[in-house]
């Protein structure tokens, strides 16, 4: 009923391929910009936050990055409402223009030395605009493709959107590496970093040109012709318990678990390799990129399989398998990527004795919070060095001590140390602690000669396969959960709360857990608990959707 007709052979028609391609470009843009900003954060910090010290500058750069995540759900509300009122096509044409223009303008933006404090303010505004547009982009793309898909093929069609994160990654890597190689590191740091942002204008032009030529989705066109378009999508979606209940279930019974598995399999795996296992950054990126190349076709495999056996068993199965195997997989990564660290963790435990009242939970999602107690300073340094340690309660008001083998090191409290002595005291403490943990066998970096490359790649590929299980069918399922008149609004919010907040907060939450416990694997409890909660809630309360008629506006 109203769908794009599939070729007699069963393969995609030219029009269907065009629908998928046009819709996927926004996701390519999303991840192209994501990787650009993440890869160039250090350079951006120097360019736009030069009026502060280097550490504060980097913190503000990360804050600007986080802003794009934080505002996603608000973009879902704004553009979801427009999509349900005026149409899918025009709304996600607007979102791609805002996303693309914001990325391009970053490449033109004068730096701090040119326009002062206006530079970081404008940069953060651009990041917020990108986040808002992204909040409307994915829901529009998923809805548009699903509403064009033939019956029985929505999982297959929408799974193509899910593959485009890999394309965005490779585009960003190619442009960054190509520019760096062509002009050299000094020129790249001075002005060449702008090139990848400016190049995005070509992607924007192609996106707009193709989307202008597209037709409105059949489901929305039919609904509009019948005069059934919602006049108040937000109140229909969230003020009526019947639909709000499904929104909540979509969040905690699907997207929260999907998000943490997605971020663990790619970004936390990269963080673990580089920050915990001390693998060279370039090598770690190549490992992740190779795993993505191997794993990406499985988005299509699981999306298509969900058309046959259902979305729910694949998504929830991915959450369960991931939760049950994360500990052994990450332990194996340590064994094969940095065996010297594995040995040190077993043979050289460290003891931190401190006043428990002075030990905070080191959760710092925006990067702006200062931890100044002796306990927090010591645990932060040890966690960053991938040192296993045990926490022992000290006397009230006492300064933390760190025992490494037979050596006892006294910590210091930054809040009570005179400002003029702080830098020297910090440097001395870091050197003394660093020398002690190095003597105990903790490596400062992974030895490339000891890395078992095939096994590391295999383990990372398994993590990516989990990602494809939970992410391949998710777009089709979210679309099918809600009626046409409020579909765009309803599906966008749980998706972006799940991915923007539950997923986006994973690295900083995991680090805080590691620092709290003194165990490099303890951060895995965050994705494991959420994935298991999603499995249980989804299993008990979320209904299968694959056979639902999405044109029935119930």
pLDDT of residue 9: 43
Give CA separation, 409 vs 62, 357, 402, 412, in Å.
32, 20, 5, 10
What whole-number distance in Å separates Cα of residue 30 and Cα of residue 268?
A: 19
Indicate the helix (H) or strand (E) that contains 154.
helix 154-162
Measure Cα distances from 438 to 92, 230, 348, 449, 520 in Å.
Answer: 53, 64, 10, 19, 17
The pTM of this model reads: 0.86
Tell me, what's the pLDDT at 56?
58
Pick from 522, 523, 511: which is nearest to 376 by CA? 511
Element spanning 404, H or E: strand 401-404
- Collapse the DSSP code of 393 into the 3-class scheme (helix H, G, I; strand E, B; otherwise coil) and give the result: strand
Which CATH code of 1.20.1250.20, 2.60.15.10, 2.40.30.10, 1.10.3720.10 fits the domain covering 15-229?
1.20.1250.20
Q: Which of 66, 51, 43, 83 is nearest to 491 (CA)?
A: 83
What superfamily does domain 234-338+446-546 belong to in CATH?
A: MFS general substrate transporter like domains (1.20.1250.20)
Asked whether the CA dihedral 440, 445, 450, 451 is positive or negative, the reply is: positive
Q: For the chain, give every residue range classified as CATH 1.20.1250.20.
A: 15-229, 234-338+446-546
Determine the pLDDT at residue 6: 44
Contacts for 354 with CB less than 8 Å, ≥ 6 apart:
373, 374, 375, 378, 391, 392, 393, 394, 398, 399, 400, 401, 411
Query: How far is residue 24 from each of residues 82, 120, 264, 294, 481, measured CA to CA in Å?
Result: 20, 31, 23, 20, 21
Contact 489, 75 (CB under 8 A): no
What local confidence, expressed as pLDDT, does residue 459 receive?
98
- How far apart CA 408 and CA 475 sit, in angstroms, is 55
Burial class (CB in 10 A: 0-12, 13-18, 19+), 380: middle
Q: Low-confidence residues of the chain, pLDDT below 70? A: 1-11, 38, 51-66, 363-369, 552-554
Distance separating alpha carbons of residues 27 and 25, to the nearest angstrom = 5
Handedness of CA 49, 53, 55, 59 (dihedral sign): negative
The predicted pLDDT at position 59 comes to 59
Q: Hey, what are 43's tokens?
A: 């350079």
Pairing mode, strands 350-354 and 401-404? antiparallel
pLDDT for residue 5: 44
Where do the CATH 3.40.30 domains begin and end in the chain? 343-439
**Helix crossing, 506-517 with 256-263: angle to 10°?**
70
* 547, 321 contact by CB (below 8 A): no
CATH topology of domain 343-439: Glutaredoxin (3.40.30)
What are the CA-CA distances from residue 418 to residues 413, 421, 425 (Å)?
Answer: 10, 5, 10
Inter-CA distances, 485 with 147, 261, 537, Å: 12, 31, 26
């Amino acid at each position: 009923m109203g769908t794009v007709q599939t070729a007699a052979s069963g393969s995609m028609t030219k029009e269907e391929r065009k629908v998928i391609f046009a819709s996927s470009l926004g996701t390519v843009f999303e991840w192209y910009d994501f990787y650009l900003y993440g890869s160039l954060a250090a350079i951006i910090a120097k360019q736009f936050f030069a009026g502060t010290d280097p550490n504060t500058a980097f913190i503000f750069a990360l804050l600007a990055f986080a802003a794009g995540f934080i505002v996603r759900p608000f973009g879902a509300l704004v553009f979801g409402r427009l999509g349900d009122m005026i149409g899918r096509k025009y709304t996600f044409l607007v979102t791609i223009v805002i996303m693309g223009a914001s990325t391009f303008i970053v490449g033109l933006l004068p730096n701090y030395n040119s326009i002062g404090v206006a530079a970081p303010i404008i940069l953060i505004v651009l990041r917020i605009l990108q986040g808002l547009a992204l909040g409307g982009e994915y829901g529009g793309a998923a809805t548009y493709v699903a509403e064009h898909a033939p019956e029985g093929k929505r999982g297959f069609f929408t799974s193509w959107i899910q593959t485009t994160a890999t394309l965005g990654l490779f585009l960003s890597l190619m442009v960054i590496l190509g520019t760096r190689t062509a002009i050299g590191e000094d020129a790249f740091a001075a002005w060449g970093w702008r090139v990848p942002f400016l190049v995005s204008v070509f992607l924007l032009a192609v996106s707009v040109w193709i989307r202008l030529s597209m037709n409105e989705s059949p489901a929305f066109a039919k609904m509009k012709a019948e005069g059934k378009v919602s006049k108040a999508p937000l109140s229909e979606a969230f003020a009526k318990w019947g639909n709000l209940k499904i929104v909540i279930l979509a969040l905690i019974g699907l997207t929260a678990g999907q998000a943490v598995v997605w971020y663990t399999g790619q970004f936390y795996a990269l963080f673990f390799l580089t920050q915990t296992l001390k693998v060279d950054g370039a090598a770690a990126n190549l490992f992740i990129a190779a795993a993505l190349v191997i794993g990406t076709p499985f988005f299509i495999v699981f999306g298509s399989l969900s058309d046959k056996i259902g979305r729910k068993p694949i998504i929830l199965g991915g959450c369960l398998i991931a939760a049950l195997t994360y500990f052994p997989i990450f332990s194996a990564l340590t064994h094969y990527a940095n065996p010297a660290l594995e040995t040190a963790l077993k043979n050289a435990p460290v003891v931190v004795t401190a006043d428990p009242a002075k030990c905070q939970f080191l959760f710092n999602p925006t990067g702006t919070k200062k931890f100044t107690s002796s306990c927090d300073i010591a645990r932060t340094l040890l966690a960053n060095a991938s040192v296993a340690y045990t926490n022992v309660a000290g006397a009230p008001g006492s300064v933390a001590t760190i025992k490494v083998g037979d050596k006892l090191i006294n910590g210091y409290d930054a809040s009570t140390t005179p400002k003029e002595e702080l830098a020297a005291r910090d440097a001395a403490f870091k050197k003394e602690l660093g020398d002690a943990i190095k003597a105990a066998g903790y490596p400062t970096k992974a030895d490339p000669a000891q890395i078992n490359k095939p096994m590391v790649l295999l383990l990372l590929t398994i993590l990516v396969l989990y990602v494809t299980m939970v992410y391949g069918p998710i777009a089709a399922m979210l679309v099918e959960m809600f009626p046409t008149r409020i579909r765009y609004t309803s599906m966008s919010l749980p998706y972006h709360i799940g991915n923007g907040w539950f997923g986006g907060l994973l690295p900083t939450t995991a680090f805080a857990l590691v620092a709290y416990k003194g165990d490099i694997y303890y951060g895995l409890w965050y994705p494991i608990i959420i994935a298991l909660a999603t499995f249980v809630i989804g299993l008990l309360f979320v209904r299968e959707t694959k056979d639902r008629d999405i044109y029935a506006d119930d």
